[in-house]
Amino acid sequence: MVAPRYRSRALRRVFVKTPGGRVNVHYKKRKPSGAKCRECGTVLRGVPREIPSKLKRLAKSERRPQRPYGGCLCSRCMRKFFVQKAKEIVLKND
Amino acid sequence: MTKVGQAVMKIAGRDAGEIGIIIDVINDNYVLVDGMTRRRKCNIKHLEFLSAEVKVKKNAPYSETAKALESLGIKVSEKKENKKEAKERPRKTRKYDRKEKSAADNKKAAKKNRK
């Protein structure tokens, strides 16, 4: 029987194949849910789903897309936002 | 709408939200844009056309487009030049450079001769 603390489902189970061919169970912390768009709520692409300590190990450019509102808005919502902004802009026309 | 001198805002990618001016029309779908954006070819679908138009020559340098943007009341920051000066890097020192190696060989030979 496994240790009592491993009987709950608080930790996720990762099956690891050892070099000898056996399958071992590793107990690991659960990952948080994926990042979502602030506007429409779809899961953001280009944002890795990892625990913060592992995210910190990544380069900044690997953590979110390299564009304004990258990691906050999905690309569609960002475009809508800037289209709206472009309409509001007032330029001196000479 | 695609005309040299048309003011546009990029709505996609890294330069999204930046204002630029069309400098060249490449074909039905692509134009060359410069200004607050990086100077680059853009798909028309990735641009939002603004109401203003400016007089700019085809393929104008950045200095001219910057002035044109300023006339529209847009604050323009100076562009950093991409060209980096080639720094002098310390060369990798090899254990046995040719001269050193020959010198070391000579020493060995001298030792042998002594024996």
Which residue is closest to A85 within chain B, CA to CA? B17
> Model pTM greater than 0.95?
no
Q: Is A3 on the interface with B (CB under 8 A)?
A: no
Separation in Å, CA of B74 to nearest CA in chain A: 8
User: Is residue B98 predicted with pLDDT exceeding 90?
Assistant: no
User: Is residue A64 predicted with pLDDT exceeding 70?
Assistant: yes
Return the number of CB contacts < 8 Å for A and B.
48
CB contacts, 8 Å: B71 with chain A: 92, 94
Range of the domain at B55: 6-71
What is the per-residue DSSP string for A13-76?
Answer: EEEEE-TTS-EEEEEEEPPPPPPB-TTT-PBPTTS----HHHHTTS-HHHHS-SSTTBTTB-HH
Q: If contacts are CB pairs under 8 Å, which of residues 50-79 in chain A contact chain B?
A: 66-68, 75, 78-79
* ipTM score of complex: 0.75
Cβ atoms within 10 Å, residue A75: 19
Q: Computed over its alpha carbons, how large is the radius of gyration of chain B?
A: 28
| CA B21, chain centre distance (Å) | 18
User: Is residue B79 predicted with pLDDT exceeding 70?
Assistant: no
Q: Please report whether residue B57 resides in a domain.
A: yes
Q: Is A23 on the interface with B (CB under 8 A)?
A: no
Distance separating alpha carbons of residues A87 and B49, to the nearest angstrom: 9
Which pLDDT score, from 0 to 100, does residue A29 have? Answer: 94
- Cβ(B52)–Cβ(B7) below 8 Å: yes
User: Is residue A94 predicted with pLDDT exceeding 70?
Assistant: no
Which pLDDT score, from 0 to 100, does residue B108 have? Answer: 79
- Token duo for residue B10: 């990029």
Which pLDDT score, from 0 to 100, does residue B76 have? Answer: 79
- Which residues lie across from A24 on neighbouring strands? A16
Domain count, chain B: 1
- Cβ(B57)–Cβ(B65) below 8 Å: no
3-state SS, A54-67, equals HHCCCCHHHHCCCC
Q: Is A94 on the interface with B (CB under 8 A)?
A: yes
Distance separating alpha carbons of residues B37 and B45, to the nearest angstrom: 16
Over residues B48-75, the pLDDT tens digits come to 999 888 899 999 888 888 888 888 888 7
Instruction: Considering only residues A80 and A93, tell me which one the structure prediction assigns the higher pLDDT.
Output: A80
Q: Please report whether residue B30 resides in a domain.
A: yes
Which residue is closest to B10 within chain A, CA to CA? A82
The CATH number assigned to the domain holding B56 equals: 2.30.30.30
Q: Please report whether residue B12 resides in a domain.
A: yes
| CA B90, chain centre distance (Å) | 26
Instruction: Considering only residues B98 and B87, tell me which one the structure prediction assigns the higher pLDDT.
Output: B87
